[in-house]
Structure 1
Amino acid sequence: MSDGLNDARAIRVAEIMTDFRNLQHYLVQLRATPTAEEYYLEGYSLLRQCASEAQTILQTPFSGSSGAATGEPEREKQQLKA
């Protein structure tokens, strides 16, 4: 993958990861205070589920591959797409 775009790709991936992490932090900070009648409405149930999943993702350490280049351009392209 020596097309000169590796630096640009690396920067973009870092930006996406930062944006994702910021979104997760904002989700965790959401605190809805529904009334007793509203507690089980679909929107509040979904909000609680999203907040719970965001907390789980934030507490899970990143378990990526080694990231070492294998010299196989097609495999690297597939890995970047994944």
Structure 2
Amino acid sequence: MESSNIPSVHVSSGNKIPYPVGVRVMLKDLERSKQILSSFGLKPDEFSPADRKMATRHIIIMLSIGGLAIVFLVLVILGVIG
């Protein structure tokens, strides 16, 4: 497997940011995203408000679908469905 220069999501105890774990992970993901964009020669500021709005909608839709899938699986496991 080829090694990449993208940092992992793990935050070591010596470099902890004073935020809850989930926020630290999101901040690391944001840094990874910026590195990926810069590797393609793009800067995060180059996206228009319409692009950002569309991306936000996609994220909301994907989170909604994921939430519905989890609810469905819980109902199947509990025997309510199926």
For Structure 1 versus Structure 2, the TM-score category normalised by the shorter chain is 0.3 to 0.5
Query: How high is the TM-score relative to the length of structure 2?
Result: 0.36
Tell me: higher relative CO, structure 1 or 2? Use CA pairs within 8 A at least 6 residues apart.
1
Query: Normalization by structure 1: what TM-score?
Result: 0.36
Q: Pick the structure with more helix per residue.
A: 2
